Structure 1
Amino acid sequence: MGLENIGGWEFVVIILVGLFIFGPDRLPKAISDGVKMLRQLRQMARNATGDLSKELGTDIQLEDLHPKTFLRKHLLSEEDEAALRKPLQGIYDDVRGVADQVKRDAESAASAAKSVTAPAPAPVPTPAPQQPAIKASWDDVT
């Protein structure tokens, strides 16, 4: 975890906000205190995972402390996990099959509706008979 997700402008904005909040004379001290706090938090997490590994007798990483991952990796064997998943897998397969059938039925109904409600081609209008053009002269206007 590092600064790879922070762009140049974001970094500049963070520095400017820090300058406005702490001021130029206290900003270096605030940064060093923040870095020191992060190091202490990481050390505490390492110690906690080390103690937990010693108590359980297995190797535990920080990511393994999520309850689902912890149960899968350290408390359940593969057979236990398969036994727990088996009833639910059958239900999942049944629901998936029904959902696929409903989707196919909906698509066929939509295509049938399109073919039934397709508009008939518009009739071609017949041209109106042309009337002879009336010529106006200058005498008619005056």
Structure 2
Amino acid sequence: MFNDIGALELLTLAILGVLIFGPDKLPKVIQDASRFIRKIREFSESAKEDIRTELGPEFKDFEFEDLNPKTFVRKQLMDGNDDLGLKEIRESFDLRKEVTEITDVVNGRSTESVEAKTGVSGGASVTAANGSKGAPDLLKKGGQPPKDTPPPFDADAT
């Protein structure tokens, strides 16, 4: 309970206790405080036992620490039991490959270079407005987009 209190803090509390309560009343105050803490602990333990008995035998392994969301997630996702296959999904998801592919398409690089870098084929290659392979660069002025593509949508203009 008091694991993070150092010697200096403990000495300061003792001096404050002597100054506030006086040396003759301090032992009784400490005794009353320890009795109060003991009663609180007993009350919480009895409440936990009542909850466990009411839940029944299905929840005999129930821990109240699991009610903390961080503890629950850490126990369910980070431990060895991988019932949902999350480890396999985590390993198959390569964010760097996806980001590289997107930046190459935005920069107008050919899909063959994207496929060579990532090892994944993107299907049919896209032909730009000027007839070259790669994605059309609609951000540059001067080039007209292909006739079958809709005009760019500007969310700020609507």
TM norm structure 2: 0.41
Give the helix-richer structure, 1 or 2.
1
TM-score normalized by structure 1? 0.45
Who wins on radius of gyration, i.e. which is larger? 1
